[in-house]
Amino acid sequence: MRTTRFSVLALAALLLGGALWAGGALGQAQRFPALGALPPVPAPADNPMSEAKVQLGKLLFWDTRLSGDVSTSCATCHDPKLGWGDGGALSRGYPGTEHWRNSQTVLNSAYYAKLFWAGEVTSLESQASAAATGNLAGNGDPVMMEERLRQIPEYVRRFKDVFGVERPTIGMAWMAIAAFERTLVSKAGQVPFDRYAKGDQSALSLEAKRGLALFQGKAGCIQCHNGPLLSDESYHNLGVPKHPAFENTPLRQITLRYQHVIRGVPEKVYRSADGDLGLYYTTKLEADKGKFRTPGLRELRYTAPYMHNGVFGTLEEVVEFYNRGGGDDPNKSPLVRPLGLSEQEKKDLLAFLLSLSSDRPLIVEPPDLPDYAPMKVEARP
């Protein structure tokens, strides 16, 4: 078994999770971190959780003043009523640009060691900063955003209560947003598969149980979607087709070209590249072109569309894509191969995938944001 952040939990599940593997469905799962319920949410030692910090982060998550032209908040691209994404195939991008990637849900992002589709950052704190300041997302200037916070008395008070400072700092804002995001997780007892994993045999339908066996066996999903998060957090090229909205929108293509420039790709690659290069932007290795981090499979019922470019609007399309053996790409992973699933097997697999979602979506209502107010200036003696 590979060593992962969930290795201890995986071992416990293998030793104690008899209900999960009922019916002889263990199969290939012996070679991978075991499926199971999520462990407690991890929090970094330098950003401990507190209710006051979470409430501050909730305000900041919805505050468009943490962007360049005050048009964009975290919630603009991660709307709780849209599965904590934006509901579209491709993100809108900052005004004047149009993005070429799907706005990924932040549900259960607290468990990822790598954030964004190509794993560019390794913490929720750095993700918040990158999104708010990135040219194609929030495009905010840190000095300007920090000054805006300092002109809002309610924020000054809350930052002092949470962090013990007289004036808010932008780094502390990212810490508060990250703390709020660590509360956006699948709730214990609300996910049918988790109830089944803990021994409730009635939690899954017969179809879903057959789908679990397929997931670990014939369909081979377990190779990349394993552990409690159902993600190996590694990178794979699936040959995902381009989205027509990218192909037919010049501004999206221009925005992608800008990505090539700011990520420092070689001139030859810049001139010829007409698609998202994924992990290659970070490594500059030819073998990494078109690779993206494996997304977890929890809450799929609420987080359509799917894939890094939102090209599939339904789970049925996703299952059919894998059943065909993925798409065409010279870097396509050897793990992706035709599956030969029957129509009933595809329905069974879909039933299992849907069992990974909560009984009801996690909805958080937008808060009332504090206003600017004149600063009090103490008279000099």
Distance (Å, rounded) from C-alpha 102 to C-alpha 335?
A: 24
What are the residues whose beta carbons fall under 8 Å from the beta carbon of 205, sequence distance 6 or more? 351, 355
Q: What is the 3-state secondary structure (H, E, C) of the chain?
A: CCCCCCHHHHHHHHHHCCCCCCCCCCHHHHHCCCCCCCCCCCCCCCCCCCHHHHHHHHHHHHCCCCCCCCCCCHHHHCEHHHCCECCCCCCCCCCCCCCCCCCCCCCCHHHCCCECCCCCECCHHHHHHHHHHCCCCCCCCHHHHHHHHHCCHHHHHHHHHHHCCCCCCHHHHHHHHHHHHCCCCCCCCCCHHHHHHCCCHHHCCHHHHHHHHHHHCCCCHHHCCCCCCCCCCCEECCCCCCCHHHHCCHHHHHHHHHHHHHCCCCHHHHHHCCCCCECHHHHCCHHHCCEEECCCCCCHHHCCCECCCCCECCHHHHHHHHHCCCCCCCCCCCCCCCCCCCHHHHHHHHHHHHCCCCCCCCCCCCCCCCCCCCCCCCCCC
Q: How far apart are CA 339 and CA 362, in angstroms?
A: 34
Range of the domain at 137: 51-181
Question: Residue 79 — φ and ψ, nearest 5°?
Answer: -90, 125
| CA separation, residue 91 to residues 101, 245, 319 (Å) | 6, 11, 23
Residues 100 and 152 in one domain: yes
pLDDT at 24 over 90: no
Report yes or no on 1 lying in a domain.
no
What pLDDT score does 378 carry? 65
Do residues 198 and 339 share a domain?
Answer: yes
The sign of the torsion formed by the CA atoms of 256, 257, 262, 267 equals positive
Q: What is the CA radius of gyration of the chain?
A: 22
Cβ atoms of 74 and 180 within 8 Å: the answer is no
Number of domains forming the structure of the chain: 3
Q: Within a 10 A sphere around the Cβ of 84, how many other Cβ atoms?
A: 27
Query: Distance between alpha carbon 106 and the CA centroid of its chain, in Å?
Result: 5
Domain membership of residue 202 (yes or no) is yes
CATH code, 211: 1.10.760.10
pLDDT greater than 80 at residue 9: no
Distance CA 116, CA 217 (A): 29
Cβ neighbourhood burial of 19 (10 Å; 0-12, 13-18, 19+):
middle
The Cα–Cα gap between 137 and 163 comes to 27
Q: What are 260-274's pLDDT values in tens digits?
A: 999 999 999 988 888
Mean pLDDT, rounded, for 28-33: 72
For residue 16, how many other CB atoms are within 10 A of its CB?
Answer: 13
Average pLDDT over residues 353-358: 98
| Domain-located, residue 129 | yes
How high is the pLDDT of residue 31? Answer: 85
Please indicate, yes or no, whether residues 198 and 169 belong to a single structural domain of this protein.
no
Together in a domain, 72 and 138:
yes
Report pLDDT digits (tens) over 140-167. 999 999 999 999 999 999 999 999 999 9
**Is position 10 within any domain?**
no
Taking all residues of the chain, what is their mean pLDDT, rounded to a whole number? Answer: 91
Is 379 domain-assigned?
A: no
Same domain, 85 and 234: no
Mind listing the pLDDT tens digit for each residue in 161-194? Answer: 999 999 999 999 999 999 999 999 999 899 999 9
279 part of a folded domain: yes
What was the pLDDT predicted at 375?
A: 78
What pLDDT digit, counting tens, does each position of 280-295 carry? 999 999 999 999 999 9
pLDDT at 188: 83
